Chains A and B, each alone.
Chain A
Amino acid sequence: MQKYVKDLTVAEVEFPHSRYVLLKLTDVEPLPEMLPGQFVEVKVEGSPKTFLRRPISINYVDRAKNQLWLLIQTVGEGTHKLAELKVGDKLNLVFPLGNGFSPMQKAGERVLLVGGGVGVAPLLNYGKELKEAGAEPVFLLGARSKADLLEQDLFKAIAPVYVTTEDGSEGEKGFVTQHSLLTKETFDRISVCGPKPMMVSVARYAKSKGIPCEVSLENMMACGLGACLCCVEKTVKGNVCVCKEGPVFPIEELTWEL
């Protein structure tokens, strides 16, 4: 798939949460083809401590408005700088990168999309694409508390949403793998994006039930193109670049103890 280095224009900026910014970017030309689960590398200007680009997953692609959405958790100096962007500012992207989630395998398949924290971001786009293709996605989203749940209305507009919060302020109390949904319903496959402990526990559940499962990793990256070999993950095929061979891997390719 063709990759680009491009200045996109900030069309809208939203703050869905005190620790997140949602940047909606646009371009004078139609945005290129992008797959759900792929990511971009953004260049952070005006932040001397931020030398390398920042990998950010593609949250949503709105073709009608020609917008690419990036839902960014503000953790360090670089991401805080991104939260200062204003409508009309330019943001330089290298994109689209990585392999992305699996496309629909068969019409009507039930796909459980499990997300936690900022890991919910790429699932919005993936759920939309699956739904449009004719699959039946179901979201299972985890957060610390109700206030930390992101883009709920958007998820609900696509497919059923089940929620767990650690403090029980919304949905069922506990972690995603404790949700009663998993004891009541079955799924053809599972895709996960979130903190590693969450992905490991979902992968264990999937393995125990014999459900195909893929996870999206976020190892520290430099180039994003498979050139520097910094972001490697140990797999059954040896060390491979998460930025190029991933970020999405079937769990049987990883060397996690499941």
Chain B
Amino acid sequence: MKSVRLWFKKDGLAVYISHLDMNRCMTRAVRRAQIPLWYTEGFNPHPYMTFLMPLPLGQAGLREPLDIRIEDDMSFKEIKSRLNAVMPEGIEIVDVAKPVCKPNEIAAAQYEADVIFASEEEAAAFADGAAKIITSGVLNAEKRSKKGIKTVNLCELVRSFEVRANGNTACVKTVLAAGNTVNLNAELLLNALNNSLSANPEKTVIARTGLLREDLSIFE
């Protein structure tokens, strides 16, 4: 038995696949690729497969980790090419490697978001206002957690934040707390910014570009 970390990209049509559906989708892909999966030995055997960081519905992910276990030895190159041959549109395996970091080392995630407005003025106003709010260090919003809904200061979960207006679009680059203990969904942050700025974008496109450790080094 051997642990393997798959790194996949999910964009285009695939952003509409929910996390739960992703699980089923990947299990089937691995089966189609005839990768010698290791199955749990319980009453209901199922393949070992763990998504380290669920991706919210509607967001793209450029480099998302998925851990699997295989029974026989198969080269990483072989796994990658077999999987890519059977993947549905919008999902691609970008890398296959030995797991380096432990799953609980994920502490932050990097995002790029395009907040698209009807006019250049609105985009500029959003960029200006958002930067000021983040600098001020206070942005209270209701956040759902396992214990219920409570108001938190989102700025405390923002590790870095850059925004610039480019035509109708406000381009955001941000690093947010991520992981099992504290986690901030980029959509929640952008919605809170919109609310406090009374901004009304036509569309928002969010992509998670990578996962980071506590010291902001790349999670591998």
Q: Do the two chains belong together in a single complex?
A: no
Residues of B within 8 A of A (CB): none
Residues of A within 8 A of B (CB): none
